[in-house]
Every structure is written in C-alpha cells, then in structure tokens.
Amino acid sequence: MKKFVFVGGGGHCQSCINSAELAGFNVVGIVDNQVGAKVLSYEVIGNDSDLPDLAKADDINFIVTVGMVSSNSLRAKIYKKLIDINANRASLIAKTAVISKHAVIGKASVILEQAVINAKAIVGENVIINTAAIIEHGARIGNHTHISTRAVVNGDVSIGQNCMIGSGSVILQGITIADNVTIGAGAIVIKDILEAGTWVGSPARKLNNDLG
C-alpha cells in the first residue's frame, strides 16, 4: 500500500484525500502551517521546516497538494524543495481515472476522479489533472501545470509549464500554449498562444489589462 504525506492543507488537499481513500492508499498526514489541526480526519503533522526530517522515511511518498491561487509558482517552489531534500515522490492516481498504458505520467502528479489520459499523452511532474478533465492522444502537459475540472485538451496539444487551464475550457487539436499562461473557465482556444498572460472567452483572447 502506498503511503503519502500531502504538502498543503486546503481544498485541493481534500480532493486528494478523497481519491487516496477510494484507491486504498494510506495518508500518513498533512504538512501545513496549522500544526495539530486536522484536514478531514487527517492530522497536520508538521510545517515546511519539518519536511527534511519527514523525508527521511524511505516508505513515504510526498505530493504537493497546494492548489493554484493566482499562479502555480508556490506549487513549483514546494516541489523544488522536495527534490532538494531527496524526498520520495509518487503520483496519486484516482481509482476511477482512465489512463492509457501508452501514456506517460511524471512524478508526483495528481490525476483525480474520472479524468481521462489517452494514448501517447505525456504529463509532466507536479501536474494536476483535475476531476473529469480529458487529455487526448499525443498531448503534452508541462511541469507544474493545472488542467482544471472538465477541461478538454485535444489531440497533439502542447501546453507549457506553470499553466492554468480553467474549468470547462477546450483546447483544439494541435494547439501550442506557452509557459505561464492562464486560460479562463469556459474559454475555447482555437489558435496558438505563444506569450504568457491570461486568455478568456470564445474564441480565447488575451485580457487587455494583462501585462504578461
């Protein structure tokens, strides 16, 4: 049975706990600022300063369970710390997720309930594929990117690092999206996005007040 420590105790952590329980995994505890508090029924066993000691356990895997607030930079920062302290990292894959045996899933990524990852898709490290999101054949998802609930990433799409693909958005086949791009909820992306920033609407357009 896989043992996990989740780093980050907010709403995304609760979703991860649910998937871990349904899959029969053992959640040892949570790392967050509120030491001694509980997330659902699981205790916060330490804060970030305790990570080096916790990482000494050979049988425990760590996952970043901080969700995206305004960017994925915090997730990336925490993940780098896990690498620096040589923490074990393993992906959390929900029991109801459908993943092709021909797909590749990077370390410490979270694949939540009813997500679909099709043949020859490549998902990077520290990625969130949220509930009922679809990653189609040959798509590539960069490190630290979050594909939100019911988003559809069609075949041969390439999405960079540190991106947020909003709930219910659709990325058409073969599109390329640069690093550090946010796609708003419900947006339809019909052409390549080659500069950082926030893109919304159908078809997706860059927000005028976005300096990215």
CATH of the domain at 8: 3.40.50.20
**Does 194 map to a domain?**
yes
User: Do 30 and 54 sit in the same domain of this protein?
Assistant: yes
Residue 114's pLDDT band (cuts 50, 70, 90) = very high
Sequence ranges of the binding site for acetyl-CoA? 146
Confidence of residue 211 (pLDDT cuts 50, 70, 90): very low
pLDDT tens figures, 49-98: 999 999 999 899 999 999 876 667 889 999 999 999 999 999 999 999 99
Looking at the structure of the chain, the number of domains it has is: 2
- Domain limits for position 191: 93-206
Per-residue confidence (pLDDT) for residue 72, from 0 to 100:
73
CATH number of the domain enclosing 159: 2.160.10.10
User: Are residue 54 and residue 104 in the same domain, yes or no?
Assistant: no
| 154 and 67 both lie in a single domain | no
Mean of all residue pLDDT scores within the chain:
94
The verdict on residue 212 lying in a domain is no
CB atoms under 10 Å from CB of 140, counted, come to 19
Model-wide pTM > 0.75: yes
The dihedral region occupied by 65, where left means phi > 0, alpha psi between -120 and 50, and beta the remainder, is alpha
Residue 212, pLDDT score: 44
Q: Are residues 156 and 194 in the same domain?
A: yes
Which residues contribute to the annotated binding site? 146
